[in-house]
Amino acid sequence: MRLNEIYKNKKPVISFEIFPPKVKDAEGALFEELKILSQYRPAFISVTYGAGGSTREATFDLVLRIKNELNIQPMPHFTCVGSTRDDILQYIKNFENNGIESILALRGDPPKGQEKFVKPACGFGYANELVEFIKSHTDLSIGVAGYPECHQECSCLDADIDNLKRKVDSGAEAVITQLFYDNDCYFRFVEKVTAKGVNIPIIPGILPITSNSQIERIVSLSGCKLPVGFNAEKGIEFAINQCNELISNGVPGIHFYTLNKSFAVKAVLDECTGI
């Protein structure tokens, strides 16, 4: 099912993000976690694509396992980093030929040790270019990323929304946001994006926090703001309240960043209303 069909559902749609384990033997444990989460009937499970394509084969294998063993539609991530147009075409065609219906198209972060993103030779420098290429060469349904608090490399939110508009105009069917902990940021973001003429679903991305070490890492990587006095011991309770407020305000879905574990997301979903 295409993204623009998935989000026609009257109830909020649930989806999850996972990443390929660094050790192949850890896949068994990951699938036990996914079996627990599958009871919530996710519309799809997205699978990340490591910096510089470092998990390219692992992502591909994991995507096929999710589809074939769990009977859940996977959504692979794909980035512009380190890939020529020929590489990209071959990779995404393999997905399409294996019955994958959607893909999340991203510019991607610079590889480790590289301060700024460098456009690959014969490749793409921006996500909207990747979206346009995928759209013109496949029938894949395309999702893209949005940043309620502005991408860290962008000068301001309005400029970042202009970048998002270019991705949508190039063929994106849904937006999945970066994680955030202030719902007002999401609501203002949706209002601004809608005012620019974007009318595709904008899905909030949620990561329940369960430890103080997560807080430090999340803030450093994403640049998101945390409420004053935020306490990891109440992270799940905070996420429950955050999701319930989003649902009560009519969001089309919620995309959970699972960190390959089911516990926190399950605890949140068990207390969410209207799902």
Write out pLDDT tens, residues 152-168. 888 899 999 999 999 99
C-alpha distances out from residue 177 to 26, 45, 54, 68, 201, Å: 28, 15, 23, 28, 11
- Whether the CB-CB separation of 143 and 75 falls below 8 Å is answered with yes
Query: Measured between alpha carbons, how far is 27 from 8 in angstroms, rounded to an integer?
Result: 33
Residues contacting residue 8 through CB under 8 Å, at least 6 positions apart: none
Q: Is the pLDDT of residue 34 over 60?
A: yes
Instruction: Identify the CATH number of the domain in which residue 247 sits.
Output: 3.20.20.220
Task: Give the pLDDT confidence score for residue 1 in this predicted structure.
Answer: 87
* Average pLDDT taken over every residue of the chain: 90
> What pLDDT score does 111 carry?
62
Q: Quick one: pLDDT at residue 166?
A: 95
Helix axes 183-195, 157-169, angle to 10 degrees: 60
Residues in CB range of 121: below 8 A, 6 or more apart? 84
Q: Is residue 275 part of a domain?
A: no
- Catalytic hit among 5, 17, 132, 271: 17
Q: Return the pLDDT at 39.
A: 96
Residue 37 domain-assigned? yes
Instruction: Please give the average per-residue pLDDT across 119-136, as a whole number.
Output: 85
Report residue 182's pLDDT band, with 50, 70 and 90 as the boundaries. very high
Residue 53 has pLDDT above 80, yes or no: no
pLDDT confidence band for 117 (50 / 70 / 90): low
Q: What is the residue range of 211's domain?
A: 3-269
Q: Which residue carries 């068990």 as its tokens?
A: 270
Residue 265 has pLDDT above 90, yes or no: yes
Greater confidence, 206 or 212? 206
At position 177, the amino acid (one-letter code) is: T
Given a cut of 60, whether residue 46 has pLDDT beyond it is yes
pLDDT in tens, 54-106: 567 788 899 999 999 999 999 999 887 767 888 889 989 999 999 999 999 99
Average pLDDT over residues 38-62: 84
Taking residues 217-230, report their average pLDDT. 82
pLDDT at position 162 is 94
What is residue 113's predicted lDDT score, i.e. its pLDDT? 59
216 counts as catalytic: no
Question: What pLDDT, on the 0 to 100 scale, is given for residue 118?
Answer: 66
Above pLDDT 70, what percent of the chain? 93
Q: Is 47 buried (19+), middle (13-18) or exposed (0-12) by CB count in 10 A?
A: buried
- Residue 163 has what pLDDT? 94
Instruction: Give domain status of residue 265, yes or no.
Output: yes
Domain contains 274: no
Structural domains in the chain (count) = 1
